[in-house]
Amino acid sequence: MTYELQNVSVNRGGSRVLRDLSLSIERGHVTGVIGPNGAGKSTLLAVLAGQMAGVSGQTALDKKPLSSLDVKALARLRAVMAQQLPNDFHLTVEQVLQLGLYAFGDLAPKAAALLIDQAAAMAGVSNWLPRSMAAFSMGQQQRVHFARALVQLLAIERHQQRAWLLLDEPTANQDPLHQQTLLACCRQLAAQNTGVVIALHDLTLAAQWCDRLIVLSAGVLAAQGPTREILTEDTIQRVFGADLRAHVIHEPAAGVVVYQKTNDH
């Protein structure tokens, strides 16, 4: 399965947020979406999820237009974790994870429980299942919603063996250990032929974990391709600001050091 976007534009609040975007995204990779604030990263994720209004152009998944799919059909193709967490303090962690199965009402209770246990273990939240969401920090709640997306993903794969995971800034509130753990889980899923698309701000995390990158700037596609080819000093300065100095490291470990130019440098 492949996402195909042809001349996709999005208008929101009287402004054009994405402009004539044409690209393809294949399963089996961790594809990162990077760019400065306001570049259109969250909008692109919402377009891929089939959740964005005001879209012109064509967005298709496996040659099937997203506009032809209803909410339930979309939920059986891709799992989504949005940047803004819902207000679900009144629920337990287990109840939040159960929300990932809303499109799979035909699933037997025992099978559903197994998927929840599996996803909770993958996200490292197994011991939290009976506890209230109100007891956890923002970063911990984010991990719970990652587990909820994993529940949906596992249900999709159980149903048809083909799935996509769309994550908008999933590491924003995580400490370094849990950033690495979450992205390692995504890499493992991609190795099993899941399609993973992640919007990221941290360029070092993008360098470490993304196989391919989509670079956005002011709603326009600035670059796309393999991470080593795309994540360069030139691209970083061109997209994030000419006043930046950037050093991209690949060996012995991937990383990006960015700092602002001064009179002393």
Write the DSSP string, 165-197. EEEESTTTT--HHHHHHHHHHHHHHHHTT-EEE
Residue 8 CA to residue 58 CA, distance in Å, equals 6
Q: Which two three-digit tokens encode residue 210?
A: 């993304």
Asked if the model's pLDDT at residue 260 lies above 90, the reply is no
pLDDT band at 264 (very low <50, low <70, confident <90, very high): low
Structural contact between residues 230 and 216, judged by C-beta atoms closer than 8 angstroms: no
Q: Helix 176-191 crosses helix 109-123 at what angle (to 10 degrees)?
A: 130
Mean of the per-residue pLDDT values for the chain? Answer: 93
- Angle among Cα 91, 92, 98 to the nearest 5 degrees reads 90
Residue 23 CA to residue 6 CA, distance in Å, equals 7
What pLDDT, on the 0 to 100 scale, is given for residue 263?
A: 59
What pLDDT, on the 0 to 100 scale, is given for residue 225?
A: 97
What pLDDT, on the 0 to 100 scale, is given for residue 262?
A: 65
pLDDT band at 159 (very low <50, low <70, confident <90, very high): confident
What pLDDT, on the 0 to 100 scale, is given for residue 12?
A: 84
What pLDDT, on the 0 to 100 scale, is given for residue 109?
A: 95
Asked if the model's pLDDT at residue 108 lies above 70, the reply is yes
Residue 68 CA to residue 92 CA, distance in Å, equals 35
- CA distances to 15, 22, 84 from 12, rounded to whole Å, are 5, 19, 18
Residue 18 CA to residue 35 CA, distance in Å, equals 13
pLDDT band at 256 (very low <50, low <70, confident <90, very high): very high
Catalogue all structural domains in the chain, each as residue range(s) with its CATH number: 1-77+164-265 (3.40.50.300), 89-161 (no CATH)
Q: Give the strands of the sheet with 78-81, arranged side by side.
A: 78-81, 164-168, 195-199, 30-34, 212-217, 220-226
- Kindly report, residue by residue over 223-251, the tens digit of the pLDDT: 999 999 999 999 999 999 989 888 999 88
Cα maximum dimension of the chain: 66
What pLDDT, on the 0 to 100 scale, is given for residue 85?
A: 81
Asked if the model's pLDDT at residue 178 lies above 60, the reply is yes
What pLDDT, on the 0 to 100 scale, is given for residue 239?
A: 96
Asked if the model's pLDDT at residue 176 lies above 70, the reply is yes
Asked if the model's pLDDT at residue 86 lies above 90, the reply is no
Asked if the model's pLDDT at residue 83 lies above 70, the reply is yes
Q: Which two three-digit tokens encode residue 67?
A: 């506009």
What pLDDT, on the 0 to 100 scale, is given for residue 88?
A: 84
